[in-house]
Amino acid sequence: AKGSRGRRESRGREEGQRGMDGSDLPSSRVYFDIGGKNYTTTVGTLTQREPDSMLAAMFSGRHTVPRDPDTGVVFIDRDGKHFRHILNWLRDGVLTSLKESEYEDLLREAEYYQLIGLVEHIKPNLNKRKDEDGSQAELTRTDIVKCIQAERVRFRGLNLSGLDLSKLDLSCVDFSYSCIRNTFFSRANLHSAKFRDVEADGSIFHNAILREEDVNSLGQNLEVLS
């Protein structure tokens, strides 16, 4: 009976934090379990800085968000390690300095939550390469755009690391033997592109168009990236 009363009181508190239209008020607290890590924030934090994100849509009042019936916690099956950076971005619009591998992980999470502003903030940090490290890309995005207008394009053996090639039509392009580390192929058309023996550590293929045989040609590299 005591547990039932507690649940009723919990539901009462949640209902008391809703506006006239049934949506959560900006000051309403939200409790998350992100892959086993617990976070507390507010509806205002989740909806104001990135209004077109998945998180903003969840708490816009247009959708019913599944919650634990006893605790009211919202569970999301993602790696919770970097969610604190996402909340800090939503609160203040800034990120602390991170290691390159952490930027790569955070970018994947930002793309999952559709945090466009955060994605655009992370990319320049990943694209910075020092000449002395030998990781400076040999071509720019503009160079790539000009090249793909040709009938047959080959980038065999080139260093294209760190380039933003997202949303480009790269179908049938030959990237064999190239270095495409930390290269962004998100939403690019890679139909029939060739990736034989590429170095692709840290590259992003989120929502890219790839045939099954194209995926197989990437082999173990794509397993690391997906």
Q: Are residues 210 and 151 in the same domain?
A: yes
Based on DSSP, count helices (H) and strands (E) in the chain, helices before strands: 9, 3
Q: Are residues 74 and 155 in the same domain?
A: no
pLDDT in the model for residue 151: 59
Q: Are residues 174 and 66 in the same domain?
A: no
Q: Between these two residues, 175 and 212, which has the higher pLDDT value?
A: 175
Mean pLDDT of 175-194: 86
Encoded amino acid at 155, one letter: F
pLDDT in the model for residue 138: 67
Q: Which of 65, 100, 127 represents a domain boundary (last residue)?
A: 127
Q: Are residues 93 and 140 in the same domain?
A: no
pLDDT in the model for residue 155: 83
In the predicted structure, residue 20 carries a pLDDT above the cut 60? no
Domain of residue 39, CATH code:
3.30.710.10
Task: Work out the mean pLDDT of the chain and round it to a whole number.
Answer: 79
Q: Are residues 6 and 111 in the same domain?
A: yes
Q: Which of 127, 151, 173 represents a domain boundary (last residue)?
A: 127
Q: What is the pTM of this model?
A: 0.52
Q: Which of 2-11, 91-100, 142-151, 153-162 has the lowest mean pLDDT?
A: 2-11
In the predicted structure, residue 69 carries a pLDDT above the cut 60? yes
The tally of CA atoms less than 13 A away on the side-chain side of residue 211 is 11
Encoded amino acid at 66, one letter: P
By residue range, what is the domain housing residue 221?
130-226
Whether 183 and 199 have beta carbons less than 8 Å apart is answered as: no
Q: Are residues 10 and 69 in the same domain?
A: yes
Sort 218 into a burial class: Cβ within 10 Å, 0-12 / 13-18 / 19+.
buried
How many structural domains does the chain have?
2
